[in-house]
Amino acid sequence: MLSFSLKAQESIDLKINEIIRKHGLNESQVMDIASWLTDVYGPRLTGSPMLDQATDWAVQTLKDWQLSNVHLEAWGPFGRGWEMEHFEMHCTGPSYWPVIAYPKAWSPSSEGEISGEVIYLNASTGAQLAKYQGQLKGKFILLDTIRNIDQGFEAPATRVDDKELLRLANLNDPTPRRERGYRGSGARFTDTLWTFLAQEDPAAVIDRSYKGDLGTVFVSGASTAQGRAQNPGNPVVRQVTMSIEHYNRIFRLLQKGIPVNLQMELKTRYTNDDGMEHNIIAEIPGTDLADEVVMFGAHFDSWHTGTGATDNGAGSAVMMEVARILQKTIEESGIKPRRTVRLALWTGEEQGLFGSRAYVREHFANTDPFGNALEVMPSAEQISAYYNLDNGTGKIRGVHLQGNQQVWPVFRDFLEPFQDLGASTLTLANTGGTDHLSFDAVGIPAFQFIQDPIAYGTRTHHSNMDNWDHLVADDMKQAATVIASFVWHTAQRDEKLPRKPTDEEVKQ
């Protein structure tokens, strides 16, 4: 059982919450914001022209809502951008059929239509690779064996049930942060593999989607022997991820000794000549505690096959909606926040939290390449909290406290007015994989919300089906409402949110 010292209850402004609920639940614009970010300006791959257009739209929208200090903050260099202009793939033998597949980001053009035989590259060591030397030029290369398909007796979309919420609430210790930067023997062979493939010049390297079925394909960026695919001048082999049903069919044909031929045309272009990227920043000025800041944000970039709806158009739309709700609350109540409230929409998250890490490095701490603090600046003390949203369209069920035991009584009171909307659980557990980690790593209180998964992990996350139609309107309205209240009440407290003890303090 967790034990906490008794503290006075937080001052919750119920009238403010009524106004927030009115604008968040009854007069919401969150789904229209999401449609602009996905239907019109999706996908939003970092470095791409579509991301630039989405950025311009968001900046103008925030200005139209009368937010202050709306601007872009450059970071980088990130490297080259990438845009897909045309793609098609067909099986031409032993029979014709159109193939469901998508190129990986940063794959180069095919320079016209190319055709070739399919070969399975059955190698896991450098010695095994050697037997294929000189045999792969112009061929389509399969890297994986068959993946069996689950027949889908369980529903792909779920909500967090009471049992799981209780498990989270009863966790006494946060999960340790996973160590980064380890490269073992598997990574070394991967380098060898991609060096070999680049030398062999195949038509394309094909893998199967690592999960999904029924035409849902999960796709990210191209692999390289060294560095990253976006690094200018880094050679990239054309790479394609194929739907599991079509991949398995081709593999079975090869197992029977039946030759398979594919035809493909891929037209792409590299963009973003200066290599720099930008975060979007906007503020609502504070009053007597204006030098202190409450931040909230989400990553604005996406992968390239869907329109970046649940990852993370949903989070960006919700956080923009939070800013709108707060502005409407100020107008209607005549009350202004004590602390400055700052929205941040990050880019480069999908490639490694680059945008948020750059922001933290610029403003709050000198950090190592993995975002860990080397020296924290005094300015970090001015940030009361950073709230993040990046787990799909599902409604908020509570908060991951990221090991911050001291904030538990505060958030308990923040959540109490929203139990009727299903938000009630606090867990000490850490959660990773998104931008709150950039702040948490330098000692700033930073939190990701517990959300219902819906079909995030099974259908939409990084997939070609990540489109507006898979957003749940009522859930996104709820999320914007809850977060708006969190941000408001954090801004109005007499004191900043309590911080976790440092490693040195824990040792004492």
135-153 pLDDT tens trace: 999 999 999 999 999 888 9
Q: What is the pLDDT of residue 185?
A: 46
Say if pTM beats, i.e. exceeds, 0.85: yes
Q: Are residue 170 and residue 137 in the same domain, yes or no?
A: yes
Q: Are residue 23 and residue 137 in the same domain, yes or no?
A: no
Q: Are residue 487 and residue 367 in the same domain, yes or no?
A: yes
CATH number of the domain residue 107 falls in: 3.50.30.30
Task: Choose one of 242, 271, 300: the last residue of a domain.
Answer: 271
Segment 389-402, tens digit of pLDDT:
999 999 999 999 99
Q: Are residue 70 and residue 91 in the same domain, yes or no?
A: no
Q: 206 - beta bridge partners?
A: 142, 240
Q: Are residue 381 and residue 489 in the same domain, yes or no?
A: yes
CA distance 259 to 63: 59
Q: Are residue 282 and residue 267 in the same domain, yes or no?
A: no
What tokens appear for 84 in the block?
């897909």
CATH number of the domain residue 380 falls in: 3.40.630.10
- Burial pattern 348-369, b for ≥16 Cβ within 10 A else e, equals bbbbebbbbbbbbbeebbebee
505 located within any domain: no
Q: What is the pLDDT of residue 7?
A: 52
Q: Are residue 45 and residue 154 in the same domain, yes or no?
A: no
Q: What is the pLDDT of residue 481?
A: 99
Domain count, the chain: 2
278 located within any domain: yes
406 located within any domain: no
By residue range, what is the domain housing residue 381?
A: 14-79+274-393+432-495
362 located within any domain: yes
Q: Are residue 168 and residue 61 in the same domain, yes or no?
A: no
What tokens appear for 129 in the block?
């690779």
Q: What is the pLDDT of residue 508?
A: 57
The distance of Cα 483 from the centroid of its chain, to the nearest Å, equals: 18
- Residue 355, φ and ψ in degrees, nearest 5: -65, -45
Residue ranges of the chain whose pLDDT lies below 70: 1-8, 175-186, 503-508
DSSP state at residue 109 = P
Q: Are residue 94 and residue 235 in the same domain, yes or no?
A: yes
The answer to whether the beta carbons of residues 66 and 205 sit under 8 Å apart is: no
CA distance 332 to 328: 6
409 located within any domain: no
Q: Are residue 254 and residue 279 in the same domain, yes or no?
A: no
Q: Are residue 158 and residue 289 in the same domain, yes or no?
A: no
Q: Are residue 75 and residue 128 in the same domain, yes or no?
A: no
